[in-house]
Chain A
Amino acid sequence: MADTTPDPDVTDIRSDAPRRIRRHSTRRRWVKTLTPWLFISPFIIIFCVFTAFPLMFSAYLSFQEWNPVAGLASMEYVGLDNYRLAMDDPWLWKSLYNTTWLALVSGIPQHLIAIPVAYLLVMAVRSGIRQVYTATFFVPFITSTVAISLIFYTIYSGNSGILNQWLVAISKWPVFSWFLGWVEEAMPIRWLNSSDLIKPSIAFVVIWKYTGFNIVIYSAGFLTVSKDLYDAAKVDGCNAWQQFWNIALPMIRPFAFFAITLTIIGNLQMFEEPYVLTEGNSGGVGQSGLTASYYLYLVGWEWLEMGAAAAISWVLFLFIAIVTAVHFYFNGKKGLGGDR
């Protein structure tokens, strides 16, 4: 950059008119520069107030000890204490274990079910009917999680829940009685009140809710695969299975990558399903349903330790970031279509 101080000589010889023009054009340039900012300002303002500020505030908070009830002024700087406390907090480790368990057990089946279902929908069902099916599968996804969880809570209920009633009824059918004979003995099965059963019960609700969403993504994926490829494969003698395995599946890799990324992030933040199914009761028996998000909520809002909760949230962030990074490292290149 050159020296920006105005040269007195130059200024002197300028007549009034060009100066006015220059001023005018300066304003115009400013207007031109500012206009796009003005248009995107609603987003920027909302982003700053609801995302950037809370983010920074929580980072700041994680180095403080703060009981919110005592007001903002009561914050006390404690350095890394909250993180140190988090590192050897048995409930945090338990909750991270639960989170991982639930992420895997509720995540993998979603995709294992959604991919074949989507493939069948695309290949074997007429477009109009396919849309009806897809929409139906999608309904659980757009239904309130709390409402769904409350209904499952009733279904799982030990003495009066429909699940147990069904199991008993089925166990009396001729063939089923062979391997469901134990059911009546075991009744009432307390799906949400024994530490072994809480997690599978939660996982089932999550699978039920989100599989439809993945079916929609995978359907869109399979639709992008050109018919020519299948025809060419058929000419080369591929059977139906080979068409699916060698043609369709590799072609939807970007969609799978996208869907899996969403599942990883979503499942690691799981909160509502376990919270409702364990009645908000500190994670259920043996904290078996306590996920990391649930725990940080507990620490912050029930135990009123906002600083500790903020530190846990950053530990959770780090955890999600690492898992996602690993996923990107192994699947990202192909998944993002980088090899094409």
Chain B
Amino acid sequence: MKHTFKTGLLATAVTAVIAALPATAQEIRVDGFPPFDTHFDKQVPLFNANAPDIAVTYQMNSHGDHHKLLTTNLATQSGAGDVVIVDVSFIGAFINEGGFVNLSDEAYGAEEFQDGFVSYAWSQGQGADGNQYGIPIDIGPGVMYYRRDVLDSVGGDIDAVINDWDAYIEYGRELKEQGVYLIADAGDVARILVRTTLEDGEGLFFDAEGNSLVTSDRFVNAFTLAKQIRDEGLDGQIGAWTGEWYDGFKNGTVATQLSGAWLLGHMQNWMAPDTAGLWGASDLPGGIYGSWGGSFLAIPAQSENPEAAWEFIKYLTTEEGPQIDSLRDLGAFPVLTSTYSDPAFDEPIDFLAGQQARQLFAEVAQQVPAITPMEGDLIAEDVVMNGALAEVLNDGKDIMEALQDAERLLLRRVR
């Protein structure tokens, strides 16, 4: 989400490509954010090979601007594309409000594809009524990226480091003596921990009945661990998507980064291309599985060409070709489990010193617990994961007090 912010300020890339097609063609427009334009540049001609009568254009805005624009489009019931990309953090707030076409309807029959998808991602696209409104297009299995050279410098072994969180912190203490930070932001530890150890069907912040889970052990433990890392001075207190953060990747002053698999694409393309071969990927410490990001495709109810839009969505999400292309071109991880046996997954990745990391991502993807998106997620994210967490880490506020304050705020808002 911070990513959102930065790209939003720096540039608003608007791209539209109109394929020259017969006048009788149906026209659909896809609204989204980069780097999906790169994906569509390649996929639209391939799609048109089998569906020549559907002309696809696309309009790209920065991640943040795109979701603001979509909010306005849904509010005024005009101006939205026929297909829209929705980030997972927005899906809970958007999906139950009636703005999207019900894809479980027999005109579309989304359920027939369900078995092909990673199950947790599929269930996140469901509304409270059990119908499918969003189709996942990529997911973010949570992994840890680590600097191999830094690890070697203290004679460490990655399996030992990720064995449990104590070992991870112990590694941080060794690094501290060398003047290297264990992690850019201790908050990331809390962020990934609250995303694991959920019961199926639970939301991140609310249970199935809508009761707050914010003061539960899951949050207390996650905050406690993050606070320990912060208090011992093991993290750099560096926010993501900032100049300092990129510097950490380039200079090797930060040893590990917990993130979605998709970070690889950013690292090798623009964040730290010169560090190729110095990195490795591993499971998250402590044997946990969680997800970090992911995107969905949906059809706004205002679309005049929902059938054509559905054809394009089916092409992008249920066919292996485009799914594997997006893995190769964008580093976006496929949602189709059948692709995981594709040879692409055995390819060694040079940036990660020849590691066959996609196999690791695939294993993680199939173990991630299903988190149910809830309407109050956006508020809770701000109040709990930005507000309370920062107060605990930076201002030394008591964890339980911070969580209770956050919960009170949350319950006032989420009615």
Contact = CB atoms under 8 A, between A and B. Distances in A.
Interface in B22-73: 64, 68, 71-72
Contacts of A153: 242
Interface string B382-394: 1100110011001
B20 interface: no
B252 interface: no
Contacts of B76: 72
A250 interface: no
Contact of B77 (A72, A89, A154): A72
A70 B9 contact: no
A85 B99 contact: no
B5 A279 contact: yes
A302 interface: yes
Contacts of B379: 302-303
Contacts of B386: 281-282
A158 interface: yes
Given A154-B243, A157-B242, A70 B395 contact: no
A199 to B, nearest CB: 14
A173 interface: no
A157 B244 contact: yes
A160 interface: yes
Interface in B94-117: 94, 97-99
B77 A71 contact: yes
A298 B382 contact: yes
B267 interface: no
Contacts of B13: none
Nearest to A190: B237
A276 B5 CA distance: 9
Contacts of B77: 71-72
Given A69-B74, A303-B379, A195 B394 contact: yes
Contacts of A105: none
B200 interface: no
A303 B378 contact: yes
Contact of A74 (B98, B236, B243, B390): B98
Contacts of B239: 193, 279, 281
A149 to B, nearest CB: 9
Contacts of B247: 159-160
Contacts of B397: 286
Contacts of A146: 9
Contacts of A127: none
Most buried by B among A72, A157, A159, A305: A159
Nearest to A161: B244
A69 B378 CA distance: 13
B236 A159 contact: yes
B3 to A, nearest CB: 11
Interface string B111-154: 00000000000000000000000000000000000000000000
Contact of A304 (B6, B93, B409): B93
A308 B379 CA distance: 13
A31 interface: no
B238 interface: yes
A159 B238 contact: yes
A154 B237 CA distance: 15
Contact of A282 (B75, B242, B387): B387
Interface string A278-312: 01111111110000000000100111111010000
Most buried by A among B64, B75, B237, B244: B75
For the complex of A and B, list the 4 residue pairs with the smallest distance between their C-beta atoms, beginning with the closest. Answer: A68-B75, A70-B97, A282-B382, A285-B390
